[in-house]
Every structure is written in structure tokens, then in C-alpha cells.
Structure 1
């Protein structure tokens, strides 16, 4: 397949939303304004550990500034979580933050680690930043309850241990009873904070609590934090997921015959979770891959904090018609997907990491597969959104081959990664991967052990599109997603049938293979020949050069023929190829005849407002 930058996997460039931090601007400003003196401050400290927090004002533009905190573990034991507290003068406040969850009560501010950056080995450090308004500086800093300079608020009085993982009993459609083993402390335990989905819902003195007012058929994540007689809090317990009884809505399995109908939902697109409802698509899909999380420095990391969990939605934009509150613990796409799952409990959501643009980090990550898997698990299972995700999807483009960058990890790296992921995520979480469809001899399928890794995954999303495109600017014109070969195809092995056959031959069960459908077309301009194989002068104009959504092409350049089981169109000087409801139907019939597990598509943005391509997949799989 082409190593050209692929539009379906590229994060589209867009202007930052109002109030969003621009790292480019902040960095430029920092060059012009001298750094303020570093100020050491204090916060809640972990038992038998030592840590510091240092504040730096990175830039100041008069009406506002950029601040940065650096937390360092100066002790000899691993720090499992951190929380920095400080006070600002009345005229100073945080307006946006990154790499930490920042909240306030009046002028008192608290920043807590995210799921992926809470663990600090001895000597390790982590930073988080924020934009602020006003001119004040922080005071009264505490790190995990102790002074930020590494001292102790209560010398000789250690913070409590983590309580035991909560267990659930007496679960009904609206309540659940939680019990846990007590924490230990050298001075005694005062009480426990019970947290539901990361937010404190009760403070109790005993080791049981019954949570009420819950929604039927809904997953909730619970953890517990102990507080000692000096009001020091310890680390949170391990989280447990509880599902209430009954049904929260939705209907029968939309895929039909147990088949999977999965769609990619991008965090940069104009499509929202509510659009899945109004288009009717939510009733017809079984799974969503949320794209993308990043892979950096050997870890899974947040892709876009603002879009993922910080952006507020109005009542008109929200799945349930209720506006986000400014102080609620979870907003953004994550909260909207949570609401979507409450309305359609049959839908499962996976968090997809990597993609075309962000696959360069996998090579470093697989050098330590267990550590990589742990980082991904910690992020996906972050208590704030653990109930949103039912598993993880790894989109590595491509192991031991070239995509946007070239990987030299070796043929075993992919299998080793998936083995570590399954060991960490366990049998109850979904584990999938989007993989190449290059079925040519010695091509990308041959470069990695997809057959050996199949034992660890639930299914593969086989990317059976982008075989041909206008990165070959002069042509020949060819369909980007042929189901089967045809006379004159520019390269052998570049069809859906070839890819599926090769994966089966490598030992991948047919039931673990999903056929990929692109909700977009690829096209050339300067084309005089209607049939495939013509010459061109370059990419056709589209949402990006050579690319356009199906919802536009169906009327702007209607299909004039079919080849290899997909459609093409010649209008004026432009030549496009894309799938229509009719060719999707053909492909679904073929998928069923091959015993495949179902189909997936890239991505919701390309479909019509009434979801006609999603409907075609759903109907075709029944």
C-alpha cells in the first residue's frame, strides 16, 4: 500500500478553539519574556516517600500567563499518585490546563495526575502546565499533603495506605452496595472518600457504602481513598466496575447474526455523538473505535485533552439534551460517548491508539511491551472514564515496515506487543488491531507475525482501502478499495480478497477478520478516460487534495461504473472511486460468504445525514 501521507489517518489541521492553549504561541512568547524565578511550594505527600513540586512562570503577556509545575520524586520508593495544591490571590485563576486535572474551590487550586502520568519512579519527574489570568503567584503549596520543598506537614505521621479494591453486592437497577478492606495508618483512619467515575460521591467512616440513584444497565467505576486523623489522604484503591441490572435503552444486536459493525469516531471531526443518534446510525452499529490516542516515549498518552474530556457541550449538542456543567468531572467526547452508551447499551467503545500520523512511537514502545501495556491500561482504565471504554485498539502503521516512518522492530514485535496487552487487559476487555491489507508477495502482511498474534486479539480491522490514489499523480487511475482483482490492476495483491486470503493462510481465523469500508473517495483530475487505467495531471480537488467524503461525491460526481466490486465516477476532468450502498452490499455478501466476523469503516464523518452507508453495512450483514 502507498506510503503517502494518508488522509484517513492524518489529524486534520484546524484552528484552536477559543480558550484552548496554543503551545506554539506559548513557546514563542516564552522566548520573549524572561522566565520568572522558580518557586518551590508544598502538597499531600505519600507515605515514606519524598517529593518536590517547583513552579515556573514560563511566559507572561500582561493580561495572562503560562504557568508550569514540575513534580519530582526525590525519595527511594515509587510515587503512585500525586496531587499539587496551592492558593492564588483573588484576581488570579487558571483558565485552561494540560497534563493534569485542575479544579478549584474559590482561590484554592488542586491539580491531580492523569491516569498515565501518576507513577513516578525514584528520581523521575513530570510536568503539567496551565494558562492563567491575573498577575498573582501561588502560595501555600502542598504536594500530597506535605510541603512542596520535600518537608513534612506532620513529621512522623505518614499518610494512610490504599484501601482494598471495592467489591459489589446487592446490585439492583438503581443501586449497589460496596465493601472494601480497611486501609492502615500509623495514627489511625478517620474516614473514606468513595469515588464513582473519579468523583467523590460520599465520605463514610466505615468500610461499606450503598450508592443509589443509578441508571439501569450502566457501568460505573468505583474506588476508595482513605483519610487519616491528620487529614492526610493516601493513594486510591484499585478500581472496580459495577454494572446495574436492567436495560438503559437500545434494542437488539444491530449487526445481525452476531456480526460486528464498527465505526471509527475521530476526535477532530465535525461529527458528534449526537449525530449518531439523529442519523439513526447508533441503532445499527455494535462498536466504536475512538481515534486517536497517541504513543509517545514508550507510553499510551492523551491525543487531544480538550476534545477528549474538557470541551463543554450545550444542551442542543448533547446526546441526552442536557448541557455540561463547568465543574463536572468529565466533559468532551468521552462524556458524550458515556451518554450514548447509556442510551444504546449494546454499543461497545474501544480507544484506538496510533494511526498513520502517530505510529512512529510504537518502535520505542515495543522495546518494553509490559511497560507499554501497563501505561495503556492505566490510561484506558483511568477512573474518570473507565466506564466509557470496553477495550483498546492498536493501530500501528506498520510493524517492521514503512508507513509515515519506517519501523525496524522485527517480525516478532507485533506479536510480543499483543501478548503483553492481553496479559495486562485480561480476558474481559476487548483487544483489537487495525492492520495492513497489503497482500502482495513480500508485502506488509508478510513483515509481521499477524498469525501468531491472532491468539491474543478479539479481531483485526483489515484496512482494505487506500490501495491506490493520487499520490501517483499521473495515474493510472484505479479504485482505492477493490474487492477483487480486475484486468489492468496496477499492482497484484492490492485487493480485499488477496489480503483476507493471505491472513487466513497465516492462521488467522476468518471470524477474527473485519472487512474495511472507506466512507470517502480518492480521485484524480486531468482525466479524459472514463474507465480505470487513464492518465491524470494530479489529485482532484476535495476536502484535501485527492480525497473527498462520500456524502459529497454521491451528488457532486455520481458513480458511472463499477470495477473490482467497487464504484468509480468520471465527471468533467475528474475521476473518483468510492463505495456506494450497492457496492457495500456486494462486499457484505462476500464477507459473509468468507465467514468474516463483520465489517468496520473509516469514518462517520463521510456518511450522509441519514447514515445510508452505515445502513448498507448493517443490512448487508444480516
Structure 2
């Protein structure tokens, strides 16, 4: 029975539809950069030269592509040749500003007589029409890598050590790192702040000045050899300058966590963008945002929706900054918008959440090699292109050693091993959290895993105290989907927030590491004849995106609440029966959370709220 799953059906259902929406969007005309096109310094003919690709148009049966060759070095390039491979079925049909030939699926483009010479700082482009849906791979420029790789016969330098920070003031920080190595010698180091170069130095220390007080920064370093090749970037160090009104709010700092989920698929049909967090006033009222979801595949963290995450071009009207994206900027999508949001709210923390109902099946494989899983997650979250956007990782495993969409048999200590590996890799300066079941029934899901042991490595748990009951039981009985406490006639004992929190405390999880969950949506039935809970039904009530579920912003006027049960509002209108939280019930739940000594609260998810963020306001004011 689905009611025994304590399902997280919002991510469960919408993630299924989201995938289709993302694929449909990708075939629209867009200058979506392929993965190898990330601009970076590369070496050819002893110069830092790069070749980047963009698909500038896509009309379904064909596309237009463009390669751009740029000389970022100090030596003039006299000619250029770009080579790449296409999968079978994808090919070039015509080209301009270059001579393009092929041998089977291997393609070669050579400069024409008038555009082969590139002075330092110069760039040139050539374009072509093609058919097929494949992306270019194995790019080479004048025999070397297109995106920061090798000069033939010359190995690129190794990554320097992760910088350490000292002497932090309101406006400056001193960085130090261990040296990189190179077969022909290291010439200097690029110091990167938030992925952008701020200095090039010959030693292994640098003091960055002119910073803003009370602000978060992220630094990495990469080495250059005598041929001007750059090696891989170091690990990142996060720095919070002094002054400016304090440091990160959270458990242990005297301030409660107020965290909300932002979904990557919301930018499609819902047209809910990071800008909405600003215009609603919500960004100023929360302390943390979880960005959902990254995928878990093959025992590793992987991108969830690369188009929405990093490639989607924002218009000026939809952008947080009010400035439109350009086709050639190194990072677009929601990640860049979240970066702009953090610029407006320097103390806001953002975590990348992995898993969710649909993608939790990958955690079983991840649990077989926790260290490899943690390594993959760190490399993805701390990728230099967006390392400054994220302040840590959240994992949403539904459910360890129990049944959700599928049944997991990893063992009761699997979650503990996974969180321990994540903490070891991400270190003390990053947040590591987890969303977990709220099944407080006897022998239920909380009893299946060592949440106290796993919690030792976590900053907090997001306890999913919602979706206890819903119209997956088509005939009812009607019941509130997020009861705070038990009540007479509750369909399943232990399916309440109070039972879940009590069981986790009894297991040994500190109250300060538990966040109470709130749903910004309702669940409902139709064919109901009685106002009070416990009535029979004929099926799920109609919803905007799926049956049986509807956003609060719709329900508040479509079916206003006319009663409360177990700390949750319910509404009876016509033959429909809904339960959902209102500003009043959220206020009561926040008071309860404070009385219990909890670390704060979180909610799923921002787009269910009103345009002026009245539910976010209720969470924030209730915890202040």
C-alpha cells in the first residue's frame, strides 16, 4: 500500500514529467554549448589557444554549428586545424570560412588563406550546417587538446594543492598552496575567485584584497608551465570575510535554518525562475536553498538536467540581474542565476541535492563504494565553473535499506558509510545534509537504518513530514497529508511529525540536527460527502499538473480551508476534500519546532507559494 511508504510524491511525480519537458526543450533553437566547449586556456604552437563549439540553431531535421578559435597566449598563431569526431548519423553538409573534410566519422577543418593568422588576443570562427543529433567529441586543435590540454610532447602541469586561507579580514585574505609539478617546469599560477582569474603569480601565496565584509568567496588555483599550458584546478577553499553582520545562520549559531527546495524542472511548464525568489521576497527570508535534483548513476553523482542547470539562456526579463545571457558566456542556466541571487544575498547558502524519489535507485550502487561516490560528488559540486554557487551537498535517498520506488537492501549501516565518506571528502567548510523518511510507525522506515550514526557526519536532516496520506488510496479515508500530531481516527499510527521526531530523538539524533518539513501544496480526493476527515471518496481530486495534488497558491482561493485537524488545515468544497498548510498552521508548527529544540524547518517547494511568498514569510517569522 502506498500509504505505508511515507512517499515523497511531489518529487516522485513531477520528476517523471520533468524529464520529458527537458528533452522537448532541447530541440528548440538555442546556442547550447556542448560539454567540451567550456572556455579554458589550452596550448598549441606554444600559445594558449582554444577551440569551442556552439550549436547556434537546431530545426529538428538539421542544425547550424559554429567553432571559435581564440588565441589567449602571447605568441602569434600562423595556422589552425580543428579535428573532432561525430557519432554515426551526424555529419556536416556544408561549411563556410574553413575547409571541412572527413574520413568516415572523423572531421577536419582547416583555415582559409585569409583567416589562419591569429595575433595574441584575436579569435576567428567558422560555421557549418549539419544533420543528426550527435555532439562533437575528441576535439584537437593543431594536434593538442582544444580546451586546456597538451602541447604535443609536453605534459601539462599537475594540480596544485588545495589553498589554505589565513589572515582573513573584512576586505582581504591570504592564500597559500603547495606547488604543482611539470616535466619542463612551472612558470606561474592563476588564482581563481569563483572560477574567474583574479591574479597570476610566480610563487605559492597570494593576498586578495578589495573584498566585501561578511561575504562568502571560493578560491582555486591552477598552474601554468613554460609553454603556457594550464593544468587542472586545485580543490576549492571557501572563505567568509569578517564583519558585515555575522556569519552563516544555522544550527549551533543561535539562528534557525529556514530552507526551501528549488526544482530545476520548474523553469519549464511552471516558468518559475530563480528571479521569482527575489521578486517574491523569499530569498531575503530563507537561510538556505536546496537545488533539486542531481542524478545518481553508476555509483556516482551526475548532472540531472544540464540544459536547465547550465545551458538555458535567460532573457533580461527572466534574469535575476536584469541582464540577458549571451551565447558565449561560460555559464548560463539556473546555476548562473543562483550565482546572481547570491550576489544580492551574500549570506545565502545553496546546496545541490541529489536523488529524490525517481533517482534514489542509484544509491544502492553508490553504497558499494562510498569513497568513490563521495569523490564523484565533490568533483561535480566543486567544478570550478560553479564552485562558488554551492556551499555543500544534500542527498535524498528514498529509502536506505527499505522500500520506496524500488526496494533497497544495502543494510542498516549503508547510509552511515555514505555520509561519513561525504563528510571526509567535503570537509568541515562545506555543508552535508540529507532528506529522510518520516515513517515513525513501529518497525517502519526509521527503524531500518542507523540514522543516529549517519547523522554524526551531517549538519542536519530534512525530515519529510508530509505525504503521510493521499489519494493513492483512491477511496480514502480522507486524512491530512501532513499531520503534526495523532488524532482520533488516523488511518495509520506513527504517521505524524511528532512520532517521526520522537523516534529519531530516541534513536540518538540530536534535536538541533532535525528540520521539520512543510509542504507548499495540498492533497485531495473527490466524490467526498462529509466535511470532517475520515470520509470515503471515489478518487483523486483534479489538479493543475496531476490528480490529487495542487499548489497552495491555487487552493487558497479555489478551495479555502474551513477546518483544522492535527495542526493541519483541511477544506471541503463541492465534493472535493483537500488538506494543506496555511500561514496560520505553519505558524503553529514553527512554534512546535522551537519548543522541541529543532534546528529549524524546510519546505517543498518554492513554486507552490503565492507571488508574494506568504508561506515563506510564515516559516521565517515563525522561527524568528
TM-score, normalised to structure 2, is 0.78
Judge conservation of contact 2:293–2:352 (CA < 8 Å) in 1: yes
Q: Secondary structure, in 3 states, of the residue corresponding to 1:482?
A: coil
| Contact 2:87 2:134 survives alignment (8 Å) | no
1:230 aligns with 2:222: no
Q: Deviations over 1:588-619 (max 9, x none)?
A: 12111211111111010111111111111112
Q: Which moved more, 1:283-292 or 1:11-20?
A: 11-20
Task: Give me the whole-angstrom Cα distance separating, in 2, the residues matched to 1:340 and 1:146.
Answer: 29
Q: What's the counterpart of residue 340 of structure 2?
A: 339
**Separation of aligned partners in 2, 1:446 and 1:64:** 63
1:500 match: secondary structure: helix
Q: Is the 8 A contact 1:308 1:334 kept in 2?
A: yes
Contact 1:250 1:344 in 2 (8 A): no
Structure 1 position 16 matched with structure 2 position 25: yes
- Looking at structure 2, the residues matched to 535 and 541 of structure 1 have their Cα atoms a distance apart, in angstroms, of 16
Deviates more, 1:606-615 or 1:326-335: 326-335
Secondary structure of the 1:235 match is coil
| 1:479-526 deviations in Å (ceiling 9; x for gaps) | 111111111111111111111111111111111111111000001111
Conservation of the 8 A alpha-carbon contact between 1:89 and 1:137:
no
Q: Give the CA deviation at 1:237.
A: 3.0
3-state SS, counterpart of residue 608 of structure 1: coil
Structure 2 Cα separation of the partners of residues 361 and 288 of structure 1 = 23
Is 2:591 the partner of 1:561? no
**Residue in 2 that maps onto 1:510:** 511
Q: CA deviation at 1:403?
A: 0.8
Question: How far did residue 89 of structure 1 move?
Answer: 7.0
**What's the counterpart of residue 596 of structure 2?**
594
SS at 2:411 equivalent: coil
Give the match for residue 403 of structure 1.
404
| Distance (whole Å) between structure 2 residues aligned to residue 255 and residue 528 of structure 1 | 49
1:260 to 250, 257, 268: 257
The alpha-carbon deviation at position 56 of structure 1 amounts to 3.1
- CA distances 1:407-456 after superposition (whole Å, capped 9, x unpaired): 11111111111111112222222111111011111111111111222222
Q: How does 1:318-397 map to 2 (within 5 A)?
A: 318-397=319-398
Task: Kindly state the Cα deviation for residue 386 of structure 1 after the two structures are TM-superposed.
Answer: 1.5
Looking at structure 1, the residues matched to 623 and 563 of structure 2 have their Cα atoms a distance apart, in angstroms, of 24
Shift of 1:257: 5.5
Note the C-alpha offset of 1:230: 3.4
Aligned to 2:193: 196
Following superposition, the deviation at residue 547 of structure 1 comes to 0.4
Mapped partners of 2:242, 2:443: distance in 1: 51
Q: Distance in 1 between matches of 2:188 and 2:488?
A: 75
Measured against aligned partners, the alpha-carbon deviations of 1:46-88 in whole angstroms (never above 9, x if no partner) come to: xxxxxxx9723343388799xxxxxxxxxxxxxxxxxxx9857
Q: Report the Cα offset of residue 205 of structure 1.
A: 4.9
**Partner-residue secondary structure (3-state), 2:324:** coil
Query: Contact (CA 8 Å) 1:415, 1:450: kept in 2 or not?
Result: yes
CA contact (8 A) 1:86 1:140 kept: no
Q: How many angstroms apart in 1 are the aligned matches of 2:344 and 2:252?
A: 17
1:104-503 map, 5 Å: 105-107=123-125, 131=135, 140=141, 142=143, 144=145, 154-155=152-153, 157-168=154-165, 178-205=175-202, 207=204, 215-247=212-244, 258-269=255-266, 270-503=271-504
Q: Contact 2:351–2:393 (CA<8 Å) still a contact in 1? A: yes
Closer/same/farther in 2, CA of residues 107 and 179 from structure 1, 3 Å limit: farther
Specify the alignment match of 2:49 in structure 1.
none
1:65-104 to 2 correspondences below 5 Å: none
> Displacement of 1:143 after TM fit?
5.3
Aligned with residue 606 of structure 1, among 592, 598, 608 = 608
> How big is the shift at 1:278?
1.5
3-state secondary structure, aligned to 1:530:
coil
Of the structure 1 ranges 275-284 and 492-501, higher mean CA displacement relative to structure 2 is found in 275-284
Q: Is the Cα contact below 8 Å between 2:8 and 2:466 reproduced in 1?
A: no
SS of 1:599's partner is strand
Q: Distance in 1 between matches of 2:525 and 2:216?
A: 48
Partner of 1:55: 85
Cα deviations across residues 178-209 of structure 1 (Å, max 9, x unaligned)? 55444333333344333333344454555555
CA distance in 1, matches of 2:108, 2:193: 25
| Gap runs ≥5 in structure 1 | 24-28, 34-52, 66-84, 91-103, 110-128
Matching residue of 1:47: none
Q: Is this contact kept in 2: 1:254–1:284, CA < 8 A?
A: no
| Contact 1:248/1:344 (8 A) holds in 2 | no
Q: Which residue does 1:41 correspond to in 2?
A: none
Q: Quick one: distance in 1 between partners of 2:147 and 2:288?
A: 45
Sort the Cα spacing of 1:54 and 1:325 in 2 relative to 1 into closer, same or farther, 3 A.
Answer: closer
Give a deviation string over 1:81-126, Cα, whole Å, max 9, x none. Answer: xxxx985779xxxxxxxxxxxxx953499xxxxxxxxxxxxxxxxx
In structure 2, stretches of 5+ residues that fail to align are 35-57, 63-82, 96-106, 113-121, 128-132
Report the counterpart of residue 570 of structure 1 in structure 2: 572
Identify which range, 478-487 or 544-553, moves more after superposition.
478-487
C-alpha spacing 1:560/1:324, structure 2 compared with 1 (3 Å) = same
Map Cα deviations across residues 260-302 of structure 1 (whole Å, 9 max, x no partner): 1111111111322221222121222111111111111001111
State which drifts further: 537-546 or 279-288.
279-288
1:141–1:147: 8 Å Cα contact kept in structure 2?
Answer: no
CA distance in 2, matches of 1:253, 1:415: 22
Corresponding position of 2:9: 6
Q: What RMSD in Å do the two structures reach over aligned CA positions?
A: 3.7
Secondary structure of 1:236's counterpart equals coil
Deviation (angstroms), 1:139: 6.6
* Change beyond 3 A, Cα 1:291–1:146: closer
Structure 2: distance between partners of 1:469 and 1:64: 57
Moved more, 222-231 or 562-571: 222-231
> 2:8, 2:464 within 8 Å by CA — same for their partners in 1?
no
Deviation track 1:151-181 (CA, whole Å, cap 9, x = no partner) reads x9544x4433333444556766666565544
Q: By how many angstroms is 1:141 displaced?
A: 6.2
1:292–1:564 distance in 2 versus 1, CA, 3 Å: same
- Aligned-partner Cα distance in 1 for 2:233–2:413: 37
Cα distance in 2 for partners of 1:550, 1:235 equals 47
CA contact (8 A) 1:87 1:107 kept: no
Q: Which digits, 9 at most, give the CA deviation of each residue in 1:290-347, with x for residues without a partner?
A: 1111111001111111111222223332223233333322222122222222222232
> What secondary structure sits across from 1:358 in the alignment?
helix
The DSSP-based 3-state class of the residue aligned with 1:359 is: helix
Task: Report if aligned partners of 1:251, 1:344 keep a CA contact under 8 Å in 2.
Answer: no
- Check conservation: 2:291, 2:350, Cα contact below 8 A: yes
CA distance in 2, matches of 1:357, 1:222: 34
The equivalent of 2:536 in structure 1 is 535
Q: Where does residue 68 of structure 2 map in the other structure?
A: none
